Amino acid sequence: MSATYNFCAGPAMLPMPVMAKAQQELLDWSGQGVSVMEMSHRSPEFVALAKQAEQDIRELMAIPNNYHVLFMHGGGRGQFAAIVHNFLGEQGQALYLTDGLWSKAAYAEAVKLTCTEQIVEAKISHQIEANIAVQLPDFSQYSQDFRYVHYCPNETVDGIEIFDTLDCPWPVIADMSSCIMSRHIDVSKYAVIYAGAQKNIGPSGLSIVIVRDDMLKLPQLPQASIMDYRLALANDSMYNTPPTFAWYLAAEVFKWLKDMGGIDVMADINRQKASMLYDCIDHYPLYKNNVVKQYRSQMNVVFHLQDESLTAEFLTQAKQHGLVALKGHKAVGGVRASIYNAMPVEGVAALVKFMTEFAEQHSSL
Of 164, 154, 110, 193, the C-alpha closest to 10 is: 154
Active site residue 259: no
Any domain includes 6: no
- The catalytic position among 175, 228, 247, 327 is 175
pTM of the model: 0.95
Q: Residue 1 above 60 pLDDT?
A: no
Any domain includes 9: no
Q: What is the mean pLDDT of the chain?
A: 94
- Are 198 and 66 in a shared domain? yes
Active site residue 199: yes
Q: How many domains does the chain have?
A: 2
Element spanning 122, H or E = strand 119-123
Any domain includes 113: yes
Looking at residue 235, its amino acid is N
Contact assessment for residue 97 and residue 136, using Cβ atoms and an 8 Å cutoff? yes
Query: What pLDDT does residue 12 have?
Result: 96
Among 226, 260, 294, the domain boundary falls at 260
- Are 129 and 253 in a shared domain? yes
- Are 197 and 290 in a shared domain? no
Q: Is 351 helix (H, G, I), strand (E, B) or coil?
A: helix
- Are 61 and 41 in a shared domain? yes
- Are 226 and 269 in a shared domain? no
Any domain includes 10: no
Query: What pLDDT does residue 154 have?
Result: 96
Q: Residue 281 above 60 pLDDT?
A: yes
- Are 206 and 136 in a shared domain? yes
- Are 241 and 273 in a shared domain? no
pLDDT in tens, 206-231: 999 999 999 999 999 899 999 999 99
Active site residue 102: yes
CATH number, domain containing residue 277: 3.90.1150.10
- Are 272 and 193 in a shared domain? no
pLDDT in tens, 315-338: 999 999 999 999 999 989 999 999
Query: What pLDDT does residue 115 have?
Result: 79
- The catalytic position among 29, 99, 102, 170 is 102
Q: Residue 182 above 90 pLDDT?
A: yes
- Are 168 and 274 in a shared domain? no
- Are 269 and 195 in a shared domain? no
Residue 128: band (very low, low, confident or very high) from pLDDT cuts 50, 70, 90: confident
Any domain includes 7: no
Residue 304: band (very low, low, confident or very high) from pLDDT cuts 50, 70, 90: very high
Any domain includes 21: no
Among 260, 279, 303, the domain boundary falls at 260
- Are 301 and 232 in a shared domain? no
Mean pLDDT for 277-296 is 96
Among 260, 287, 317, the domain boundary falls at 260
- What distance in Å separates the CA atoms of residue 99 and residue 19, rounded to the nearest whole number? 34
- The catalytic position among 199, 255, 273, 327 is 199
Of 163, 254, 177, 184, the C-alpha closest to 12 is: 177
Cα torsion at 176, 180, 185, 186 (round to 10°)? 70
- Are 43 and 176 in a shared domain? yes
CATH number, domain containing residue 51: 3.40.640.10
Range of the domain at 267: 262-361
